[in-house]
Amino acid sequence: MSVQTDRTQEFVRYLLSASANAALYGTEHPQVTRLCDEAFGRLDDALSGSDSDGLLLMAIENELILNGNPLEYSLFLNRFAEILAAHSIGHIRLLPGVTRQEVGNMIAVLANQGDKATAPESSEHIRFGQVEVRLGGNGESQDSDRQEQQKRIRMQLEEMPAEEMARFQEIYDTVRRSQKLKINGVTEVVSGFINAFRHQGESMMVLAALREADEYTFTHSTNVCILNLAQAMAIGIEGQALNDIGIAAMLHDIGKLFVPEEILTKPGRLTRQEIELMNEHPVRGAKYLLSQPGVPRLAIITAYEHHMHYNLSGYPLAPTGWHLNLCSQMTMISDFFDALRTRRSYREPMNLRAIAGMMLDMMGTHFHPALTRNFLIILSHLE
């Protein structure tokens, strides 16, 4: 964890404590004053190492993202995200030069919760963004940044780049033969996709996985990678976190390489025993990745969690209170979309509108609601 990230999390912790105390005792209470001073000090330290753009905190339901990097889950960050949602705050931009008075004003606003919660006004150095996503019509958003993105020329990759496809096929064949994973090769493929997005200048709208082809595991994985990168870029994730999300997507189904081929390609309904074998692939994949040097921790978690469902009704079974990783939840969405969009031996591919309708019905049960809305906005540009 970087010093800036550490100081920002400490700022949020003190800000949350100050807001809670202000709600109980008022903003002039000595305890609130002390906590406000602590919050301001941590924020000032965090901003000292930032550029003129400062810090960007984005809330995706119970997830917080700092300058494009998801923060590790904790109870206090989860609570802070809930308070932001109650005030209809989608993101906060914290700029160098912020004053102690501005932090105090922010505490006063956040202290008003429940029915008293109001949307705050931005100040010179603390900017609040309020986002409202509408799924009907042309998928417009009230957030100005998203509106600008939606005005750009959308692009669609009808075919996966042949070089990347061949390289990843070779990686999978190597795993089948020797059980050794060439993680550097996977990293190169993901970097190639990210560079292609940036070269084209429109990462949010670049989608693959739309051709109606037969499914092979490596093809499906590259599709899910593209879709995950599109989701992540659309909510501002960049840097190493973006690369790790792409790698995790590429490897999410690695456990299927240890499922008998006749089960994977069976045209008819699977027997109960075959379903049980198929349902073992997340655990097998996670165990395999855990044994391979250089594999990002995020990839192991995603391989294990990507069939759990948002409400934990999937597999493998999770204990009550299990917290799903943000990347796993993106992967659930990408995996579902590509599985239905691709021709299988037992059915034809579904059209985009039908898939979108199913995803709407499954929001809050199978899929993270906010991430699903984000994905459907991306999807709306393909119709």
Pick from 86, 341, 311: nearest CA to 211: 341
**The pLDDT of residue 206:** 42
Q: What percent of the chain has pLDDT over 90?
A: 36
Residues 6+ away with beta carbon under 8 Å from 287: none
Q: How confident is the model at residue 120 (pLDDT cuts 50, 70, 90)?
A: confident
SS3 at position 214: strand
How far apart are the C-alpha atoms of 108 and 106, rounded to whole Å?
5
For residue 29, the model assigns a pLDDT of: 92
Kindly report which listed range (47-51, 89-93, 148-152) carries the lowest average pLDDT score.
148-152
Q: 183 near 292, Cβ under 8 Å?
A: yes
The Cβ of residue 50 has, within 10 Å, a number of other Cβ atoms equal to 16
pLDDT at 155: 32
Q: What is the pLDDT of residue 344?
A: 62
Residue 221 has pLDDT above 90, yes or no: no
Sequence-distant (≥ 6) Cβ neighbours of residue 366 within 8 angstroms: 309, 310, 311, 313, 314, 332, 336
Give the separation between CA 329 and CA 182, rounded to whole angstroms.
25
Residue type, 27: T
* C-alpha–C-alpha distance, residues 278 and 126, integer Å: 50
Task: Give dist(CA 363, CA 310) in Å, integer.
Answer: 8
Domain locations in the chain as residue ranges: 3-129, 144-380
Top-confidence range, 145-154, 185-194, 241-250:
241-250
Asked if the model's pLDDT at residue 145 lies above 50, the reply is: no
In this predicted model, what pLDDT tens digit does every residue of 269-285 receive, in sequence order? 889 999 999 999 999 99
Whether domain 144-380 has CATH 1.10.3210.10: yes
* 287-305 pLDDT, tens digit each: 999 988 899 999 999 999 9
DSSP assignments along 267-287, one per residue: SSPPPHHHHHHHTTHHHHHHH
* Contact (Cβ atoms closer than 8 angstroms) between residue 63 and residue 237: no
Place of tokens 């119970």: 62
pTM of the shown model:
0.67
The pLDDT value recorded for residue 151 is: 37
Beta bridge partners of 56: 93
63: which DSSP letter? Answer: E
Please, what is the average pLDDT of the chain? 79
Note the pLDDT of residue 75. Answer: 74
The predicted-structure confidence for 303-357, as pLDDT tens digits, reads as follows 999 999 999 999 999 988 898 999 999 999 999 998 888 766 556 778 888 888 9
- Please give the pLDDT value at position 118: 63
